[in-house]
Amino acid sequence: MTSEKTRKGKERQRVVFMTLRRDSRDTVVERVKRDPAFARALLDEASTLFLSGEPETARMILRDLVNATLGFEVLARMTVTPPKSLHRMLSERGNPRMDNIAAVFAAISQNLNVQIKTNVVAATKKKRTVA
pLDDT tens figures, 24-78: 788 888 999 999 999 999 999 999 999 999 999 999 999 999 999 999 999 999 9
Please, are residues 83 and 72 in contact by the beta-carbon 8 Å criterion?
yes
Please tell me the predicted confidence (pLDDT) of residue 74: 97
CA distances from 69 to 34, 121, 122 (A): 11, 31, 35
Residue 126 has pLDDT above 80, yes or no: no
Residue 101: CB atoms within 10 Å? 20
For 108, the domain range is 24-112
Is 105 within the bounds of a domain? yes
pTM of the model: 0.74
Is 2 within the bounds of a domain? no
If one counts the domains in the chain, the total is 1
Is 60 within the bounds of a domain? yes
Please tell me the predicted confidence (pLDDT) of residue 119: 87
Is 77 within the bounds of a domain? yes
- Backbone phi and psi for residue 66, each to the nearest 5 degrees, phi listed first: -60, -45
Please tell me the predicted confidence (pLDDT) of residue 120: 87
Is 88 within the bounds of a domain? yes
